[in-house]
Amino acid sequence: PEYQTEWWYYTGNVQARDGQELGFQLTFFRRGLDPEPVARASRWATQNIYLAHFTVTDISGERFYAAERFSRDGAHLAGATGEPYHVFIEDWQATGSGPEGMTMHLRAQAKDMAIDLELRNDKAPTLQGDRGYSVKGAGVGNASYYYSLTRMDTTGKVTVNGNAFPIVAGASWMDHEWGTSRLESDGVGWDWFALQLDDGRELTWAQIRRADGTANPASFGKLTAADGSTTPLRATDIELEVTKSWNSPRSGARYPAAWQLRVPQAGLNLTITPRVADQELPVSIVYWEGAVAIQGTTGATAEPVTGRGYVELTGYVPNGERVPGR
């Protein structure tokens, strides 16, 4: 609560018993209202505003569903606790058990979709930035605290349009980030990649975009090995090329829609493509966030590598507001 902005972010690519493939996102944002809260007797007294986004991507059916909720912590309508681990807006919630909440349970329901999923983590947290301190620019204090659980085995149930799909396999990703600063004045958004490779590695890359289209030198990432060890990545370590674009018929935004991402020091050369083109969230602050597929090569002998992941694209909507966080 001593930091203004905090978020808890979950995404995953999962497979149902019948082979149906689906993606999901459930994200909670907290925004503090006063740096020096005043105690109030009313149960409706509010210190924090909460926002949540919930999406399901029907990959087999090429459909995307999104919903949004706002609430406040007054009257226990929304909130977050560390022990026991519980983040919620009404009946949308993430709960956790075990050390650091390593086994998590996600529940959310909206008009055309619902999830009831168990996420089990057996991999050490990836501390983003410098031991969890993630610098976003050159300004003093322009940073956040940030860690990721990069591969969580996922089972449970996803419901789409009244059809319940038992989930028998899948991998989810969790981010927890908190801080008070925002992007620098010339920052317009970010292209954020959470990639899970089938050889057991994960790649985080956050490319912070300037108004002139160039990448901020503070762009950052981590390559997490199968054993949990990590290698920090800086702007000079990554080659990111947009190879295709997609125009939103709703917002007018022109988003990147395919990428070639190279990490020369790791011998990685990855082609990243959306699993469904239209995964734009038509919510209060419009952005694109969706499931992606990965194909490429790795190592000196260019061995094949594949994977799944999620990509978040903000700041592309003309005259749009910024998404909180990152």
Domains of the chain, CATH where assigned? 5-313 (2.40.370.10)
For residue 33, the model assigns a pLDDT of 74
Is residue 136's pLDDT more than 80? no
What is the three-class DSSP state of 27? strand
For residue 141, the model assigns a pLDDT of 63
pTM: 0.92
Q: How does residue 138 score in pLDDT terms, banded at 50, 70 and 90?
A: low
Is residue 38's pLDDT more than 80? no
pLDDT in tens, 180-194: 766 677 788 999 999
pLDDT in tens, 217-270: 989 999 999 999 999 999 999 999 999 999 999 999 999 999 999 999 999 999
Is residue 144's pLDDT more than 90? no
Q: CA 198, CA 202: separation in Å to the nearest integer?
A: 9
Per the CB < 8 A criterion, the answer to whether 68 and 53 are in contact is yes
What is the three-class DSSP state of 321? coil
Quick one: how many helices (H) and strands (E) in the chain?
0, 23
Burial of 41: CB neighbours in 10 Å, binned 0-12, 13-18, 19+:
exposed
For residue 213, the model assigns a pLDDT of 85
Q: How does residue 151 score in pLDDT terms, banded at 50, 70 and 90?
A: very high
Is residue 317's pLDDT more than 70? yes
Per the CB < 8 A criterion, the answer to whether 267 and 300 are in contact is yes
Per the CB < 8 A criterion, the answer to whether 189 and 298 are in contact is no
Gap between the terminal Cα atoms of the chain: 17
For residue 243, the model assigns a pLDDT of 98
Per the CB < 8 A criterion, the answer to whether 111 and 153 are in contact is no
